[in-house]
């Protein structure tokens, strides 16, 4: 809300630690993290050519991150999203 110009940048890189009901939105906010539900509320406002999502919680397996994002993001946003997580294996 305080920097709407971020939604107009060519590339936007942001963390998205929590992706589903395994972590409630209030708990995500308490830890100063972004929940996918917050991003979904504003999905139509992202005018970026590329959205890079990163810093996912380790409660998710890397391949699960890709699956959840593909399932939950609107197609128009998913097509512009780059997931900074391996497709398989572990984060570390």
The predicted structure's pLDDT at residue 92: 58
Q: What is the pLDDT along the chain (92 residues), one digit of tens a residue?
A: 789 999 999 999 999 999 999 999 999 999 999 999 999 999 999 999 999 999 999 999 989 999 999 999 999 999 999 999 887 776 65
The predicted structure's pLDDT at residue 87: 79
Burial letters 13-22, b for 16+ CB under 10 A, else e: eeebbbbeee
The predicted structure's pLDDT at residue 25: 92
The predicted structure's pLDDT at residue 89: 72
Residues 15 and 55 sit within 8 Å (Cβ to Cβ):
yes
Q: How far apart are CA 61 and CA 77, in angstroms?
A: 22
Domain extents for the chain?
Answer: 4-83
């Amino acid at each position: 809300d305080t920097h709407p110009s971020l939604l107009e940048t060519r590339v936007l890189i942001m963390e998205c630690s929590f992706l589903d009901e395994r972590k409630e939105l209030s708990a995500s906010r308490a830890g100063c993290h972004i929940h996918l539900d917050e991003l979904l509320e504003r999905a139509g406002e992202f005018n970026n050519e590329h959205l890079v999502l990163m810093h996912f919680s380790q409660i998710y397996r890397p391949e699960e991150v890709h699956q959840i994002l593909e399932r939950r993001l609107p197609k128009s946003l998913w097509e512009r999203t780059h997931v900074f997580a391996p497709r398989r294996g572990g984060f570390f």
